[in-house]
A and B are shown apart, each in its own frame.
Chain A
Amino acid sequence: KMAAAAAAGGLRRAGWRLWRGRAVVRCQLSPPHRALQASAVLRRVSDEQKEPLASSSQQQFDSHPTNHQPEQEPQGPRPSYTGQGGQESEDYESEEQLQHRILTAALEFVPEHGWTAEAIAEGAKTLGLSAAAAGMFHSDGSELILHFVSQCNTKLSEVLEQEQKLVQLGEAEKKPTDQFLRDAVQARLRMLIPYIEKWPQALSILLLPHNIPSSLNLLTSMIDDIWHYAGDQSTDFNWYTRRAVLTGIYNTTELVMMQDSSPDFEDTWRFLENRVADAMNMGNTANQVQSTGEAVVQGLMGAAVTVSNAQTSRAVR
């Protein structure tokens, strides 16, 4: 499960990295960030009574990072908290982890404040940080939304991985493809329900040009994940067709969900069922067209042979 989570994390990180890089560059330039880091360091020091950490961290503050990061790949020069001798202390928290925590905490305030810097500021306050921490992020709430989407995708991967384990252990039946797709899309869309009031705002922010690479990346990796767990093993152009179709289904269902006021969104799930059924039919229809085409060609060949035979026998006579 760790591996799968890390895998999903890895796939997510591709999208995450695109806008994280921008955030990191900005952070190095903005004063509030430094104040935040200093305050975070001091807070940690006073909490945990670690001795050389404070002074050496302040010294290391402007230095370039070592290659010690507790988690993912290096992202270029970043201030890092390292103790003396370049050894990491155990409670080292990277900037990315801190931002993760703030954004996760901020989600609680989204229904009230929307996807805005206010929500991030409130989130930071619950972690005991100054509201100025919101200055670390873009003012339109892009990072908060992308963080949320990324989190949802990870959750979805975990759920699908769990289900797959159950099937492999024989504790559950393998679902037919259309049901699998329906359930996966429904599970993913249900994660939006707590934030449904403000989700249209989020969708429009995700469509801003500077967010499109990351949001597209997150979308495609989610769709790829769903097909992977559905058991797709295509290695030809079908790979693209299937993902394109599912992306269409997902996006249209999401839009329907925004307008849906039925109890527990039953209209949305019915819409989803119909779209998935359409997609399945499309596949069948394509096969039928192909076999009909082949039959027609064979018929024509037979006719041509008959005609040429008739002409030959007439010529002989």
Chain B
Amino acid sequence: VPAERVSLRCCSTRVSLEDVNRPVIDRIIRVDHAGEYGANRIYAGQMAVLGRSSVGPVIQQMWNQEKDHLKKFNELMVAYRVRPTVLLPFWNVAGFVLGAGSALLGKKGAMACTVAVEESISDHYNSQIRTLMEEDPEKYKELLQVIKQFRDDEREHHDIGLEHDAEAAPAYSVLKTAIQLGCKAAIFLSERI
């Protein structure tokens, strides 16, 4: 499908987008929005179980950062007139179940889940950064900045998870592989539908 050059003016945020590569930007914003939404729900699930434990504050802090990320992507979605993924209600439930489920395996289980998800997300952000750099770093400067910042945050969450003994979780490698496979599937679907 040839890239479509479209000039767009958004009514609410008065952003004027000249010659944006619509299909690529659409996908990027849709999948990132879905990802942050899912991450929010995962942390919500973890807090529901471990909120009153010793790692509660740590998870809460990471959750707050994800909330900021989601807010930013909500703004970008409106600015670029991107449609959200149809699967949002599904990610709502699946994310919460994953968070709560991993938390029921204990604090280390929750941290293992965090490590797996954050690693997936930061790899995914990295490949998006590469794509945008290949397209046109100047044109997408703002978006690149946002994604780079968020990638650094997710990396930080990943490291926090490791610090809190994620690797000592029961069946760590199996858990991690399964969760990352799920993330890959979620990314694939959210980009398209």
Give A residues with C-beta under 8 Å from B: 2-4, 6-7, 10-11, 13-14, 72-75, 164, 224, 228-229, 231, 233, 235-237, 239-240
Contact = CB atoms under 8 A, between A and B. Distances in A.
Contact of B11 (A10, A224, A231): A231
A164 B84 contact: no
A3 B20 CA distance: 12
Nearest to A240: B86
Interface string B37-76: 0000000000000000000000000000000000001100
A235 B82 CA distance: 9
Contact of B89 (A10, A14, A72, A237): A237
A3 B8 contact: yes
B155 interface: no
B127 interface: no
A10 B7 contact: yes
Contacts of B73: 235
A11 B6 contact: yes
Given A73-B3, A74-B2, A239 B8 contact: no
A141 B5 CA distance: 29
Contacts of A236: 84, 88
Contact of B74 (A11, A14, A235, A237): A235
B83 interface: yes
Contact of B84 (A14, A231, A235): A235
Contacts of B4: 10, 13-14, 73
A233 B12 contact: yes
B9 interface: yes
7 contacts: A4-B9, A10-B22, A233-B78, A235-B33, A235-B84, A237-B89, A239-B83
Contact of B6 (A7, A235, A239): A7
Nearest to A225: B81
Given A3-B16, A235-B77, A235-B78, A164 B11 contact: yes
Given A14-B4, A74-B2, A239 B84 contact: yes
Contacts of A73: 2-5
Nearest to A220: B83
A240 B88 CA distance: 11
B52 to A, nearest CB: 19
Interface residues of B, number: 25
A10 B3 CA distance: 11
Interface string B1-42: 011111111111000101000100000000001000000000
A3 B11 contact: no
Interface of B: 2-12, 16, 18, 22, 33, 73-74, 77-78, 81, 83-84, 86, 88-89
Q: Interface residues of A: mostly helix, strand, loop or mixed?
A: helix
A231 B12 CA distance: 7
Contacts of A229: 11
A214 B192 CA distance: 19
B2 A10 contact: no
A160 to B, nearest CB: 9
A6 B7 contact: yes
Contacts of A240: 86
A228 B81 CA distance: 8
B71 to A, nearest CB: 10
B3 to A, nearest CB: 7
Nearest to A7: B8
A13 B33 CA distance: 26
Given A224-B81, A233-B12, 20 more contacts: A2-B7, A3-B9, A3-B16, A7-B7, A10-B4, A10-B7, A10-B22, A14-B4, A73-B4, A73-B5, A74-B2, A228-B10, A231-B11, A235-B73, A235-B78, A235-B84, A236-B88, A237-B88, A237-B89, A239-B84
Contacts of B83: 224, 239
A7 B18 CA distance: 9
Nearest to B2: A73
B116 to A, nearest CB: 26
A136 B78 CA distance: 40
A72 B88 CA distance: 34
Nearest to A10: B6
A8 to B, nearest CB: 10
A235 B8 CA distance: 19
Contacts of B33: 235
Given A235-B74, A239-B83, A10 B88 contact: no
B93 to A, nearest CB: 12
A261 to B, nearest CB: 37
Leading 7 A-B pairs by shortest Cβ distance: A10-B6, A6-B7, A7-B8, A235-B74, A3-B7, A233-B78, A3-B9
